[in-house]
A and B are shown apart, each in its own frame.
Chain A
Amino acid sequence: MSFLAPLFLLGGLLVAVPIVLHLTRRRREPVPFPSFLLLQLTSATARFKRRRFRNIPLLILRCLALLLLAAAFAEPVLRGGALAGSEGTTLDRAVLVDRSLSMTVGNRMAAAREAAQEEVSGLGREDRGIVVAFDGRAAALTELTGDRGALAPAVANLSAGGGGTSYAPALGLAGRLLPASAGRRREVVLISDLQRSGFEDGRPQPSLPPGVELRVRQVSVSPPANAWIADVTVVAEGREQLMVSAEVGFAASPATPEWSGEIELFLSGRSVDRKVLTAAADRMTTVRFDPVLRPSESLAAEVRLPGDGFPGDDRFRLVIHPEAAIRVADLGGNPPSIYVSEALGVGVAPGFLLDRAPARGEAAVRGALEEVQVALVRDPGRLDPDAMRALGDFVEAGGGLVMATGPRRLSRAASEALAAFAPAVPEGFVDRDPAGRLGDLVPRHPVFEPFGGEGSALLGALAFFRYRILSGIRPDATVLARFDDGQPAIVESAWGEGRTLLFASSLDAEWTDLPRRAAFVPLLHRMVEVAAGHERIPIAYRVGESVDPGAAFRLPSGRGGEAEEVLADSPSGERTVLDGTDALRLAEPGFYRARRPGAAEFRQIGVNPPLAESDLRSLDAAEVRIAAVAAAEGEAAAASPVAPDLPGRAAAWLLLAAFLLLLVSEAWAANRTVASRIAG
């Protein structure tokens, strides 16, 4: 038998109440009697042993009722086999110890070690045990053995790491490590802070094989107040500066409803700015640091919060790279578009630099395009054929082109020049009333990456009142999106070394509400980046991710483009040698360093704790038990209908029924006692 919520067993201590009452009610005033002269003559034979308790049957009833109530709330799970005595008395026990980052809070890890030692030392002579440590992953620290001398040191050496929490791998591994064998009972003891995020949707749901009992020992109940850095972004601030901003979350506790402190930005280990921050409970607060100069080389940066109840998530590490902003030339950008200039004025580093360029004259256009990576055309009707040809050469040479349509119609010559390199040519208008909508997107295309999941609704909500028909779509072009009438909306094609994205509607607000919608900025950013061939490389990583070391560390390619070994050092100094195809698993927070063999210079990346670890809310042990056992119970019931497990709810209801029965009996007995006293 095990309990889903063993903490409720503490309720059994309530039996002290009736015991004390039955003792204290005994303390009555003695009965006055005139004289003991004659009474003492009888005392030799008539003295009695003074009972400590009064109405012992009633006391037993009351104590039993309370114990039943506590047991019912603890939700016992009775194994059918155990009831029938078919399972042996020997035990195989897997002790799963949580070593995720959240176990660094307070004395959770020490408590977990202590609990694990209890479980190990509680094994009988014929029993066997195995110690499994887990965070996002699970690893057996010992073999399944009856040698406690092998188990105890493994427990003693346990320490919390920087990983996230996931219960499924641990429970799955434990289930596999406990082989089913006749005459042996199998038990898994989960020792954890039961962090809720370990069971969040999207993660594999934990389950145990049928016949394996699960006991949960929670080492912490109430989480402390915690402030954490959820994310740090670096955006371009003009040509020379970057702005670092941090998102800070705060989870309050009853004792600390609000948090206030200084948040500090470090570059290369040197404090460069600090801000005073007041964070409200359960809200994200954004802090913007003063702009810093765009570095000339990769720079390790760190944002720090003052220590709190959970210091593990008070630092965010990132690397700022020296790359320049993507330069964009707005051909025929006069008058300038405030929407475009504002949208490209912000952006995750390296950011964008927007220049206006002429729309006529081949030489002028070529000159304007010499220093830029992307040409932006908002109304191709403004371009003369020479400019269009220069644009084609620019694309062929590796430049990127983002072209929208506008009110001016292309001349025949310009259309022909455009058709030579562009995926399609804009033709006549289509007016829509009601407005047309975007649909039929190419999933997982980099252009739509910011709109994954719920973000796709942002694109679907856009209204298009007018757009041009794109004709002459090249066979090698890809229609990335269509309007709801089937007309192409965004078409992409490659030409030479370059890439062109053609948008059938306008980037201004006359034909569509796109520029006024939230989707505009990320969509334009992604279109420009895709046209420029810019690959976004994260500025920071999370523990648990696996990365391609060459790309993540921006290591120079091997000779001849062949895969070459990478030497990677973890923050704790552990070195890993990876061949060209190995991924590097990031196992701890801090700065990882890597280099090619023979290279003197290390490149580094910032690795941070899993964001979910900052959510210290915990589950009830019963929830874990139910989640983990439910599947197993279903399988067990199917496999062994004769001796099904008695799940916690059923046993609890039985106990509650017994409790009510006892309550009625108690009331009857108590009334009878009182009635007899009155009658007497």
Chain B
Amino acid sequence: MPAAETRFIDPAALARISNLSLVAKMVVQGFISGLHRSTFLGRSIDFAEHRPYMPGDDIRRLDWRLFARSDRFHVKEFEADTNANFLVAVDVSRSMDFGWRGIRKLDYARFLAGSLATFSRSQRDRVGLGIFDHELREFVPPSARHLETVLQHLARAIPPPEPDARGRRTAASDLEPPLAQLGAALGRRGLVAVVSDFYEPPEQVLAAFDRLRVAGHDIMAFHVLDPAEMDLDLDGVAGFEESGTRFRDLESGALLDLSPTRARERYREAMAEHTRALRAGLVRREVDYILTDTRTPLDFALFRYLSEREGRRRRR
């Protein structure tokens, strides 16, 4: 993962803004202004109308002929190039309710999903939303008018309650049932972005994506992780000691005594193996796999998203 550049917005700063809609717009607008220097333009070829030039508009879209006639700057608006369905599926299982030295993964996922939806809507896509843990909890079908609904549902998305005292598993993520439900619910082929920490064996994750793929959807997988869980480095957390720490599984409530010092190398290897297996399996299935941690600016993630999308178009 490339290092974040300074022009991107720090997710932790965004986390201080409670209005998800505003966050998404800030991210997307910043992202679009950044696209001025980008090679990815995202244009359509079907002209729709003119509109007055606004600062920030690409000057290459100025209609010089019209300027010659009217002595005013106008840019050309085109019809959406895809008018496709875009659905973002967000994992709200308890494992997403984790964050150390930054924002929670769930918040990051909400910002990311909101930004994706906002950006897609700006691209004239119909946007929809799926919220799931081990089952599909919320579903907003893609529509040109559903952006606000999507953002509202995202803002209200909360993880399920804590496991009970006996550690009974309550709401761990289980991708296959909700993705299968999504596949069935989405009538028209479209682009599905799945945002999750993918804490399942890779073969189960891949099987879940297969349920979506058979319906003909293009899929992007955003693998969101906290930096602390990537390195097993929780130094500073109350109760954490390098020599020995008792961990509690957020999903099951199970306890585990472990020496982080002794386990760290092995854990990193396991994490690398896990992401490698996911990446390899998803790439084989033509699923775009984007691994991001919660320190990565959201517009950078959008950049990755757009990059993957343009690449996909070119491959077509």
Contacts and interface: CB of A to CB of B under 8 A. Distances in A.
Nearest to A678: B236
B266 A31 contact: no
Given A29-B239, A30-B246, A51-B244, A36 B252 contact: yes
Given A39-B267, A42-B263, A680-B235, A34 B197 contact: yes
Interface in B226-273: 226, 229, 232, 234-240, 243-252, 254-260, 262-263, 266-267, 270-271
B248 A33 contact: yes
Contact of A48 (B94, B226, B232, B259): B259
B131 to A, nearest CB: 18
A42 to B, nearest CB: 4
A45 interface: yes
B8 interface: no
B199 interface: yes
B73 interface: no
Contacts of B247: 30-33, 36, 39
Contacts of B244: 48, 50-51
A39 B247 CA distance: 10
A125 interface: no
B255 A30 contact: yes
Interface in A626-642: none
B98 A33 contact: yes
Contacts of A444: none
Interface string B187-227: 00000000001011100000000000000000000000010
Contact of A41 (B95, B236, B255, B270): B270
B121 interface: no
Contact of B229 (A28, A29, A34, A40): A34
B274 interface: yes
Nearest to B261: A46
A405 to B, nearest CB: 103
Interface residues of B, number: 44
Could you say which interface size class chain A belongs to?
20 to 34
A66 B17 CA distance: 54
Contacts of B274: 37-38
A47 B249 contact: no
Contacts of B249: 33, 35-36
B126 interface: no
Contacts of A38: 199, 267, 270-271, 274
A37 B199 contact: yes
A217 B82 CA distance: 100
A181 interface: no
A334 interface: no
A43 B258 contact: yes
A488 B237 CA distance: 102
Interface in A6-51: 28-43, 45-48, 50-51
Given A34-B105, A41-B266, A28 B256 contact: no
Contact of A46 (B238, B250, B258, B271): B258
Given A41-B270, A48-B257, A28 B238 contact: yes
Contacts of A37: 199-201, 274
Nearest to B94: A34
A42 B273 CA distance: 13
A40 B247 CA distance: 11
B239 A28 contact: yes
Nearest to A40: B256
Nearest to B243: A48
Contacts of B250: 32-35
B161 to A, nearest CB: 14
A39 to B, nearest CB: 6
Main secondary structure of the interface of A (DSSP, over half): loop
Given A30-B248, A34-B197, A45-B266, A50 B257 contact: yes
A41 B240 CA distance: 19
Given A42-B270, A46-B263, A33 B246 contact: no
Contacts of B98: 32-34
B235 to A, nearest CB: 5
B182 to A, nearest CB: 22
Nearest to A37: B199
Contacts of A41: 266-267, 270
B238 to A, nearest CB: 6
A34 B259 contact: no
B256 A36 contact: yes
Interface in A50-97: 50-51
B239 A33 contact: no
Nearest to A54: B241
A579 B266 CA distance: 104
A116 to B, nearest CB: 52
Contacts of A45: 262-263, 266
A46 B105 CA distance: 26
A47 B263 CA distance: 8
A79 to B, nearest CB: 46
A33 B260 CA distance: 12
Given A32-B250, A34-B105, A35-B249, A43 B256 contact: yes
Which of B239, B259, B263 has most A Cβ within 10 Å? B263
A313 to B, nearest CB: 65
Contacts of A32: 98, 247-248, 250
Contacts of B260: 46
B170 to A, nearest CB: 14
B176 to A, nearest CB: 16
Interface string A132-167: 000000000000000000000000000000000000
B257 A42 contact: no
A23 B252 CA distance: 27
B233 to A, nearest CB: 11
B103 to A, nearest CB: 14
A34 B199 contact: yes
B263 A39 contact: yes
A43 B263 contact: yes
Nearest to B239: A28
Contact of B267 (A31, A42, A47, A51): A42
Given A43-B256, A680-B236, A34 B251 contact: yes
Name the residue in B199, B201, B229, B266 with the highest tally of chain A Cβ atoms < 10 Å from its Cβ: B266
Nearest to B95: A34
A500 to B, nearest CB: 104
Nearest to B99: A34
B204 to A, nearest CB: 11
A628 B224 CA distance: 82
Interface in B21-78: none
A46 B261 CA distance: 8
Top 3 A-B residue pairs of the complex, sorted by shortest distance between their CB atoms: A46-B263, A34-B95, A35-B199
Interface of A: 28-43, 45-48, 50-51, 680
Given A31-B238, A37-B200, A42-B258, 12 more contacts: A29-B248, A31-B240, A34-B229, A34-B251, A38-B199, A39-B258, A39-B267, A42-B270, A43-B263, A47-B259, A48-B257, A48-B262
23 contacts: A29-B239, A31-B234, A32-B247, A32-B248, A35-B197, A35-B249, A35-B251, A36-B254, A36-B256, A38-B199, A38-B270, A39-B263, A41-B267, A42-B258, A42-B270, A43-B263, A45-B263, A46-B260, A48-B244, A48-B259, A48-B262, A50-B244, A680-B236
